[in-house]
């Protein structure tokens, strides 16, 4: 497996695995040390015992070896083997200096007089034993000043030592194995327990990525203490503040809508009030001179035109501010209505509003946000335009996008206002000003469009909205 795959494993697997690896390492090192120590001890004991065996045997056979007294040497070997049973001597061979057997513990294997040469090179050392081996060898040369009298070769059975070594190894392996499994399980439990708050947090954050962030339930927070308790409370605080901010944004947007409605309401009232005087005059004329056919018909015409004007104003207002107005597609009349809506505000400020409506049929964009956005821009432009100047608006449709351009000759849009307008889903302005621009920015962003701002020379601003037109099939669905 490669390292990057390991890194991507959950920590609940990685920690127990690390524990296992560490324990195996510790177990190996410990076992090696214990076995090395055991081997050392076994070997030291074996050396001591074998030396004492050889010492005893040497002193017993020394006189006999010079006489080559086969029986006495054999008897001494037999007695030594009997006495040193704990040492497990398997075989002892005594030869003279020429290597001819004087006597052996098993005379049938090594008859008297046959030549004995150790087939194993290790047998020619004073002592040799390798850990775990079944036998150990010891050799002793009996020498008198000037000459070698004889040599004793002994082989000891060390299977009990090998068995002891195996037992120790087995015990070590079992203990280490059990400990490793135990600690790995403990590690897994511990890490799983410790990682629970992280998992909860990560799940909540995962939810937040897709929808609105959800706070961690209070009962879980109450049960969690320490760093994770702080973390949960901090996270919940963050979620709350995010929600408050979201709510505030919604409220601000609503207030802005209502605010602009308020501003318009006086304009609308003024618009309705203007013809009312004429209408009442017409009514009065009707009352006084109603019997005159000419006067009557002209008064009725006046009444009708006045009422139609009022109706148009009311209709337009309704169309703009009616909730859930559906997602009707934009039609040329929507733009004309806007002209009518902002005209009173223009007149109030002595600003001419020139709207160039180049649409010749319905366009596959939602009418309501377009109208609201354009209304906001027009009102903003009128507010910015100096008296006696002109505000121009052009609405045109290409094959892919609807383009709306609004220009004024005011002092130019401040940087902060430009930033709010082009921020898309940005936060609402902190000082509460420029909410109209912020709302426009959101509306355009929701429609997938974009806003470009251009400063004019010597002064003025051109704002360009580009709204993509929905494909035919999608507009049907919408």
Q: Rule CB under 8 A: which residues touch other proteins? A: 69-71, 74-75, 78-79, 82, 103, 106-108, 111-113
Helix (H, G, I), strand (E, B) or coil at 427: coil
Q: Which residues of 125-142 are buried (b: 16+ CB within 10 A; e: fewer)?
A: eebbbeeeeebbbbbbeb
Closest to other proteins by CB, 111 or 217:
111
Minimum separation from the CB atom of position 23 to other proteins (A): 50
Cα–Cα distance, 335 to 374 (Å, whole number) = 9
Closest to other proteins by CB, 72 or 336:
72
Closest to other proteins by CB, 70 or 325:
70
DSSP state of 90: E
Closest to other proteins by CB, 104 or 374:
104
| Bridge partners of residue 136, in order along the sequence | 156
Minimum separation from the CB atom of position 68 to other proteins (A): 9
Contact status, residue 141 vs residue 148, Cβ threshold 8 Å: yes
Q: How many CB atoms lie within 10 A of CB 286?
A: 18
Cα–Cα distance, 181 to 189 (Å, whole number) = 12
Closest to other proteins by CB, 149 or 231:
149
Sign of the CA dihedral running 425, 427, 429, 435? positive
Q: Distance between the two ends of the chain, CA-based, in angstroms? A: 51
Contact status, residue 115 vs residue 104, Cβ threshold 8 Å: no
Closest to other proteins by CB, 103 or 272:
103
Minimum separation from the CB atom of position 107 to other proteins (A): 4
Minimum separation from the CB atom of position 53 to other proteins (A): 18
Minimum separation from the CB atom of position 112 to other proteins (A): 5
Minimum separation from the CB atom of position 150 to other proteins (A): 16
Closest to other proteins by CB, 63 or 111:
111
Minimum separation from the CB atom of position 123 to other proteins (A): 22
Helix (H, G, I), strand (E, B) or coil at 130: coil
Closest to other proteins by CB, 65 or 366:
65
Closest to other proteins by CB, 103 or 335:
103
Residue 116 dihedral angles phi and psi, to the nearest 5°: -115, 120
Cα–Cα distance, 470 to 397 (Å, whole number) = 12
Minimum separation from the CB atom of position 184 to other proteins (A): 54
Minimum separation from the CB atom of position 124 to other proteins (A): 25
Q: How many CB atoms lie within 10 A of CB 40?
A: 11
Contact status, residue 434 vs residue 377, Cβ threshold 8 Å: no
Beta strands in 26-132 (DSSP E): 89-96, 101-104, 127-128
Of 385, 10, 9, 434, nearest in space to 256 by CA: 434
């Amino acid at each position: 497996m490669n390292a990057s795959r390991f890194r991507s494993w959950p920590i609940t697997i990685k920690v127990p695995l690390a524990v296992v690896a560490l324990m195996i390492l510790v177990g190996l090192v410990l076992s090696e040390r214990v076995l090395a120590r055991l081997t050392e001890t076994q070997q030291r004991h074996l050396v001591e015992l074998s030396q004492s065996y050889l010492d005893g045997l040497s002193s017993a056979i020394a006189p006999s070896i010079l006489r080559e007294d086969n029986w006495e040497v054999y008897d001494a070997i037999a007695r030594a083997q009997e006495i040193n049973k704990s040492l497990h001597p398997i075989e002892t061979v005594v030869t003279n200096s020429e290597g001819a057997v004087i006597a052996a513990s098993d005379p049938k294997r090594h008859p008297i007089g046959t030549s004995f040469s150790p087939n194993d090179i290790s047998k020619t050392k004073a002592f040799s034993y390798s850990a775990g081996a079944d036998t150990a060898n010891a050799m002793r040369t009996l020498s008198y000043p000037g000459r070698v009298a004889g040599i004793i070769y002994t082989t000891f059975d060390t299977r009990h030592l090998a068995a002891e070594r195996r037992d120790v190894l087995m015990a070590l392996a079992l203990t280490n194995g059990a400990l490793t499994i135990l600690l790995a399980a403990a590690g897994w439990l511990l890490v799983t327990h410790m990682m629970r708050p992280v998992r909860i947090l990560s799940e909540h954050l995962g939810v937040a990525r897709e929808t609105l962030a959800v706070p961690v339930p209070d009962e879980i927070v109450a049960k969690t203490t320490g760093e994770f308790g702080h973390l949960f409370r901090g996270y919940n605080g963050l979620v709350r503040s995010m929600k408050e901010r979201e709510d505030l944004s919604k409220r601000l947007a609503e207030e802005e809508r209502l605010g602009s409605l308020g501003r318009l309401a006086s304009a609308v009232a003024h618009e309705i009030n203007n013809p009312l005087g004429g209408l009442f005059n017409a009514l009065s004329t009707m009352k006084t001179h109603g019997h005159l056919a000419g006067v009557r018909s002209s008064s009725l015409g006046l009444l009708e035109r006045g009422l139609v004007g009022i109706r148009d104003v009311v209709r337009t207002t309704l169309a703009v501010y009616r909730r859930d107005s559906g997602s009707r597609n934009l039609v040329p009349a929507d733009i004309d209505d806007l002209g009518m809506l902002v005209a009173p505000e223009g007149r109030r400020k002595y600003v001419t509003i020139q709207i160039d409506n180049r649409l010749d049929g319905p366009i596959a964009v939602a009418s309501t946000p377009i109208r609201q956005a354009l209304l906001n821009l027009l009102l903003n432009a009128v507010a910015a335009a100096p008296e006696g100047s002109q505000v121009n608006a052009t609405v045109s449709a290409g094959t892919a996008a609807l383009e709306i351009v609004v220009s004024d000759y005011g002092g130019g849009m401040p940087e902060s206002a430009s930033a709010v307008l082009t921020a898309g889903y940005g936060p609402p302005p902190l000082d509460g000003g420029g909410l109209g621009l912020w709302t426009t920015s959101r509306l355009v962003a929701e429609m997938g469009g974009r806003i470009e701002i251009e400063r004019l020379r010597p002064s003025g601003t051109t704002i360009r909205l580009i709204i993509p037109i929905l494909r035919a099939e999608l507009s049907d669905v919408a």
